[in-house]
Amino acid sequence: MTGITKDHPRYESLITREKIVEGVNMGITSKQGLVAQGRGEAFDYILGEKTIESAAIAERAAVAYILLAKNPIISVNGNTGALVPDQLVSLADITGARLEVNLFHRSDARVHKITEHLKAHGAGVVLGGKGDKRLDLSHDRAIVDEEGIFSADVVLVPLEDGDRCQKLVEMGKTVITIDLNPLSRTSLTSTVTIVDNVTRALNNMIQFTKDMKGGSKDSLQAVIDAYDNDRVISDALYSMQEHLKNKAEEKGITWI
């Protein structure tokens, strides 16, 4: 890691970048994953690098769906494996969901490395190594475990490809995504779209699970029934616009 001091205004963002570069060095993250990280950074910058209120609402709805699910699965790729292994393991533990490694640029070696990495961070069972079922997709994210994503009723897919998201929704699953671009195909297709940085989102979801876990099924269902995903997406766009406007004004640039 490079010497980034805590007083740097963009400390969190820079540390995240270092972690993902480290993921590439460890063979967990693909080089394309670094580009994806950069895309996320830019959208997060526009969002103000904070959890907006509508994202917190989406995170609570996501937790409600996971807690009510029969077979909830958390999909892990090379970026989340490198960035948030502890949070993935904690969220799985506390909700009872299972982790499944699923990669766009798949190789047995990478699946194995990510699995071992998650186990080193405390994970028990990690699915994804069998790959005994295929979704109807032309790339490697098609390869899933029968007992995992294939038969899951709720799938949390932080940092997702649009076409797999669409496929999972078509299969009748509840799909929860974490995507900083509110207009991506993933965001527009998901059941629950969390427009937030993946580190913040998972930290929040762990906290919300602690708060909500003791509640009745009815109270969790009520959270789901009150949830409006289109409104969440509209609000994320509005928040981005507002943040840019405030930033521009702060810097003396006329907003036209």
Contact status: 37 vs its own copies (CB under 8 A): yes
Residue from the set 7, 31, 109, 214 that interacts with its own copies by CB under 8 A: 31
Contact status: 41 vs its own copies (CB under 8 A): yes
Taking a C-beta distance cutoff of 8 angstroms, is the pair 135, 141 a contact?
A: yes
Contact status: 3 vs its own copies (CB under 8 A): no
Question: Taking the chain, what is the end-to-end CA distance rounded to the nearest angstrom?
Answer: 41
Residue from the set 24, 94, 169, 171 that interacts with its own copies by CB under 8 A: 24
- Give the Cα separation of 235 and 229 in Å (integer): 10
- Give the Cα separation of 50 and 59 in Å (integer): 14
Q: What is the DSSP string of 27-78?
A: TSS-HHHHHHHHHHHHHHHHHTSS--HHHHHHHHHHHHHHHH-SSEEEEE-H
Tally the C-alpha atoms within 13 A of residue 131's C-alpha that lie toward its C-beta: 13
Alpha carbon 5 to its chain centroid, in Å, reads 27
Task: Return the axis-axis angle of helices 217-225 and 198-212, rounded to nearest 10°.
Answer: 140
Check the annotation: does 181 bind a ligand.
Answer: yes
Check the annotation: does 203 bind a ligand.
Answer: no
Per-residue binding string, its own copies, 224-253, x by CB under 8 A, is: ------x--xxx-xx-xx--x--xx--x-x
Interacting span for its own copies (CB under 8 A) from 31-39, 116-124, 140-148, 169-177:
31-39
Contact status: 5 vs its own copies (CB under 8 A): no
Check the annotation: does 200 bind a ligand.
Answer: no
Give the residues lining the site for its own copies (CB under 8 A).
17, 20-21, 24, 31-32, 34-43, 45-46, 181-183, 188, 230, 233-235, 237-238, 240-241, 244, 247-248, 251, 253-256
Annotated binding residues, written as ranges, equal 17, 39, 179-181, 185-186, 197-198
Annotated binding residues for ATP, written as ranges, equal 17, 39, 179-181, 185-186, 197-198
